[in-house]
Amino acid sequence: MSGFKGLSGSKAWSGFTGLSGSLGGSGFLGFAVRRLVGAVVTLLAISVIIYLVFYVAPGNVAQITCGPRCSPAQVHQVTEQLKLDDPLYLRYWHFLQGIFAGQDYSTGTSVQHCGAPCLGLSYQSDQQVTQLIWAKLPVTLSLVFGAMVLWLVIGVGTGVLSAWRRGRISERVLTGITLAGTATPVFVIGLVLMIIVCGQLQWLPFPQYVPFTEDPEQWAWNLLLPWLSLALIEAAKYARLTRASMLETLAEDHVRTFRAYGVGERAIIGRHALRGAVAPVIALNANDFGSAIGGAVLTETMFGLPGLGRELVHAVSVVDLPVVVGMVLVTGFFVVLANAVADVLYAVADRRVVLT
């Protein structure tokens, strides 16, 4: 046993020094810089694709941008402001200039300055798209961050318990629940929770968004039901992923060695198997967080939350092109940002990752 302790101690120390060496100094800094540069390049590529899809489309782009109520003079004005008569590369460069340096917009009676990052002007509501997004973004971030905490706690906890109780009745029950959660739409869970929790039991009020700065307690109290509705759907994926990753780790040779030397099952799961399950959870969470920023439409609509999802649906319904483009760009930004952060956390969580 003493030999085993010495072996494990030396391995732990060498692993720690290897981890600190790989994450410290120029190695980790270079890795972070490369990920940052890659994120910037990806964002530029996304902006090119979005511009081509929305602004180089068949039809009168100026008329679509301005809206159906615009006069021919206003349509001509939009054409000049967006440089739609210029070559494609100049039009795109003008679009980028607005994002990084700001832009002036003429509304016919006055000139508005849209400061950087300027995502355009909604000619239908006479509002800057950036201001519109800033007004809606706290609601969506409140929903997604709270739901993310819950789906990680519930999903990873259920996955760990399922792997620990493998082959028993409790494991089969948990597997069945996660499969049911994966197959159930979010609006079904949301409606059931509202009927039971708000209607019959009256444990919670019907959700009504309250800004965090006004009343943090009411902010959390009113968002608890939307958090649960979104988290229960996502948690099912994390439970299945955590269970599969842990079972794979528990079948490895070094785990058998730990068992042979009498290490307890709880210590094996908590110190070794769970670490192997963290890395894929980080990668999945990055994708889910980024997509939930622009994809929480059903949750926001069902609970009446004035977030980005509801605003995007409204912009599409009235064909407010600048707002749609701005929303898609912001969603793409959060997806890229979340994945860049996940790459760094992945390297911190799993020291076997090569920093290239």
Other beta carbons less than 10 A from residue 292's beta carbon: 24
Rounded to two decimals, the pTM is 0.79
The CA distance from 135 to 331, in Å, is: 15
| Contacts for 24 with CB less than 8 Å, ≥ 6 apart | none
- The mean per-residue pLDDT over the stretch 129-133 comes to 91
Q: What is the mean pLDDT of residues 38-64?
A: 86
Extract the tokens encoding 143. Answer: 């929903």
Residue among 291, 209, 277, 293 at smallest CA distance from 243: 277
pLDDT of residue 22 exceeding 70: no
The CA-atom distances, in angstroms, between 119 and each of 97, 132, 211, 230, 330 are: 10, 10, 25, 29, 9
Can you tell me the mean pLDDT for 119-146?
Answer: 89
Mean pLDDT of the chain: 79
- 3-state SS of 33-49 is HHHHHHHHHHHHHHHHH
pLDDT tens per residue across span 252-282:
777 777 777 777 777 777 676 777 777 788 8
**Cα separation of 227 and 186, whole Å?**
11
Residue 96, both tokens: 């980028």
- Neighbour tally for 28: CB within 10 Å: 17
Higher per-residue confidence, 283 vs 352: 283
Tell me which of 169 and 128 has the higher pLDDT.
128
Q: Span 270-297, mean pLDDT?
A: 78
Average pLDDT on 111-118 reads 82
Task: Supply the pLDDT for residue 352.
Answer: 57
Between residues 251 and 86, the one the model is more confident about: 86
Q: Which of 310, 356, 347 is nearest to 133 (CA)?
A: 310
Look at residue 355 in the predicted model and tell me its pLDDT.
Answer: 58
CA gap 160, 9 in Å, rounded: 26
